[in-house]
Amino acid sequence: MAKKVNEHEGVNFEILFSGRSNVGKSSIIRVLTGKNLKVGKRPGVTLKPNHIRYSDLLITDLPGFGFMSGVKDRKQDIVKDQIVRYIESNAERINIAVLVIDGAAFLDIVQRWEDRNEIPIDVEIFELFREFDLDIVLAVNKVDKIKDSSLDKNLDMICDKLGMLPPWKQWLDTVAPVSAKKKDINSLKKLIRQRLHEQKRDDLFKYF
């Protein structure tokens, strides 16, 4: 029988990125690391986990859940199962779990799900992160699409939907408004560095 090779042997620190399709996960990781990940206009670009490895650090870009163009409903369920299973089986190793959302579309999407009496997948994944007691960061991407004057209100409502009592500024240790498009991800970098420091891994600062 062929021996199963553990492709992630030696990994001591994992940063996981998860979120709905098309929210900009790959774009953020691209800006964060300078690695040329595939980014797409159509949802469903990343169909299996992408990994970036620096010494014992692993950065994982999970496939997006929810709508994917050209992908059947059943396939979407399979992707969702894959994601849940990935989180379950690697929870011990995941030091930072980043949920990425599209700040400009989140509230409408959540409303649509709630109108159907369903729990939005983002909210479900966020709950799953909590259940596994992961160190969570919420990256609210695409803030370039939100008017400056409504940004605070929008972020308050987003936090509320995810069980974080507004005002959002109470959650600056968790919430990072970013725009991968404008390469403005400093708030996210700051939170990642803060986590690295708390977990005594300042040696990994050089990668961010």
Minimum gap (Å) between residue 40 Cβ and ligand GTP = 5
Give the span between the Cα atoms of 128 and 126, in whole angstroms: 5
Residues 42-81 interacting with Mg ion (rule: CB under 5 A): 45-46
DSSP state for residue 144 in the 8-state scheme: G
> Side chain identity at 36, as an amino acid letter?
N
Those residues whose C-beta lies under 8 Å from the C-beta of residue 107, and which sit 6 or more positions away, are: 154, 157, 158, 161
Closest alpha carbon to 44 in 17, 13, 23: 23
Per CB under 6 A, 195 contacts ligand GTP: no
Among 180, 191, 196, 204, binds ligand GTP (CB under 6 A): 180
For 2, phi then psi, to 5°, come to: -70, 140
Q: Which of 122, 102, 115 is nearest to 179 (CA)?
A: 102
* x-or-dash string of contact with ligand GTP, 92-131, rule CB under 6 A: ----------------------------------------
Pattern 41-80, ligand GTP, x by CB under 6 A: x-xxxx----------------xx----------------
Residue of 14, 16, 18, 27 interacting with ligand GTP (CB under 6 A): 27
Count interface residues toward ligand GTP (CB under 6 A). Answer: 24
Nearer to ligand GTP, 24 or 120 (CB): 24
Among residues 41 and 200, whose Cβ is nearest to ligand GTP?
41
187: three-class secondary structure by DSSP: helix
- Say which DSSP state 167 is in: P
Q: β-pairing, 57-61 with 50-54?
A: antiparallel
- Which is nearer to ligand GTP, 42 or 197 (by Cβ)? 42
Q: Can you give the binding site for Mg ion, defined by CB under 5 A?
A: 26, 45-46
